[in-house]
Amino acid sequence: MNIDDLKERGLIVFECLSGSRAYGLDTPESDTDIKGVFILPKEDFYGLDYTAQINNETNDIVYYELRRFFELLSVNNPNILELLNTPEESVLYRHPVMELIDKDMFLSKLCCNTFGKFALSQIKKAQGLKKKIMNPVDRERKSAIDFCYVNYNNGSVPFNRFLEIKGWQEKDCGIANINNMHNTYALYHSTKNIYRGIVQSCNASDVSLSSIPKGENQVAVLFFNKNGYSTYCKEYREYWDWIEKRNESRYQNNINHDKNYDSKNIMHTFRLLDMAIEIGQNSIVNVNRPNRDFLLDIKAGRFNYDELMDMANDKQIIMERAFRSSNLPERPDINLVNKLLIEIRDRFYK
């Protein structure tokens, strides 16, 4: 089943603009995102062919099956609460069965965690991007050898430098374990092709031991910074995955404002924290944001990163205080939610 099937068979019961156009934060460059709710045909719902979500390839059009829609509402998922509370000017279609939903029945103190934790995750994303922008990783990948060091001249030198000093080749070296010395090895050298080098390939995750013939003399002690190499491999993989998948126009915007943080994620941090405060204080979900200019200023990079972090921390404190004194239930009444779900489905099928 695809989006065309939903439309042709009249299965869509709710459809609206979402994202920046629903928030009132759209600009001429903004995409048009659409979200909605559909109800499976009776034979699919009662059979084995249940479909929870249908979307297009770019994920800018997404429809949730009624049961999945209610499941996410019941855990106060921010995106789905926003969908339920879409401003009328952004609603494209509403089936009469959707009028049965009381929006207030889903609001609870769970929103403090769902909105707040999601907002904090945006801060982490922004911090992660700042780190990537400020600390690019060279395309040429380092190997385990680059994290090996040898004792030399009352100190230590990188293994590659040690080879240069000695005029040796890595393939003529071998290492063996030293008892009670973690990641530290006895280093041997011979030009008789009796050793296998200290790594087997440029992408090896560890150094490689050799069989040391009896009577061979140890020439030095080698230390492999295994933890440092593991951290580097993780950062290398994450950085170049990000390079491959990043949104170039969004990245260029972050470069152009020269603040070295993901301004769009920070903007959504403030949007979510403000919405959470309003839920805690007034038990209402305001999707269309009244502070458009302030939020777009954040997106444009008109604030320093540390200044924004201070403001976000202040808002988090206000949000947590609002929910402590709120009259909202701890969580939605699942029994009432379940009865409503059954009633809507029955009416639609009839």
Question: Do 154 and 12 share a structural domain?
Answer: no
pLDDT per position as a tens digit, 212-241? 999 899 999 999 999 999 999 998 888 788
In-domain check, residue 241: no
The pLDDT > 70 percentage for the chain reads: 91
Question: Do 190 and 148 share a structural domain?
Answer: yes
pLDDT per position as a tens digit, 52-92? 999 998 899 999 999 999 999 999 999 999 999 999 999 99
User: For residue 165, what are the contacts with CB-CB under 8 A and spacing of at least 6?
Assistant: 152, 157
What pLDDT does 135 receive? 64
Residue 197's domain comprises 144-232
Report the alpha-carbon distance of residue 344 to residue 340 in Å, rounded.
Answer: 6
User: For residue 160, what are the contacts with CB-CB under 8 A and spacing of at least 6?
Assistant: 145, 146
Cross-strand bridge partners of residue 148: 224
At 130, the pLDDT band (50, 70, 90 cuts) reads: low
In-domain check, residue 239: no
Question: Do 121 and 32 share a structural domain?
Answer: no
Mean pLDDT (whole number) for 270-283: 95
In-domain check, residue 238: no
What pLDDT does 139 receive? 84
Report the alpha-carbon distance of residue 4 to residue 13 in Å, rounded.
Answer: 14
Question: Do 33 and 153 share a structural domain?
Answer: no
Question: Do 155 and 28 share a structural domain?
Answer: no
Number of domains in the chain: 3
In-domain check, residue 240: no
Question: Do 86 and 3 share a structural domain?
Answer: yes
What pLDDT does 134 receive? 58
Question: Do 96 and 1 share a structural domain?
Answer: yes
In-domain check, residue 242: no
In-domain check, residue 27: yes
Last residue of a domain, one of 232, 262, 284: 232
Question: Do 22 and 45 share a structural domain?
Answer: yes
At 124, the pLDDT band (50, 70, 90 cuts) reads: low
Question: Do 125 and 102 share a structural domain?
Answer: no
In-domain check, residue 41: yes
Question: Do 90 and 44 share a structural domain?
Answer: yes
Tokens found for residue 95: 């089936």
Total-model pTM: 0.66
Cross-strand bridge partners of residue 152: 155
Question: Do 101 and 32 share a structural domain?
Answer: yes
pLDDT per position as a tens digit, 23-54? 999 998 888 999 999 999 998 888 888 899 99
Question: Do 126 and 172 share a structural domain?
Answer: no
In-domain check, residue 348: yes
Average pLDDT, the chain: 90
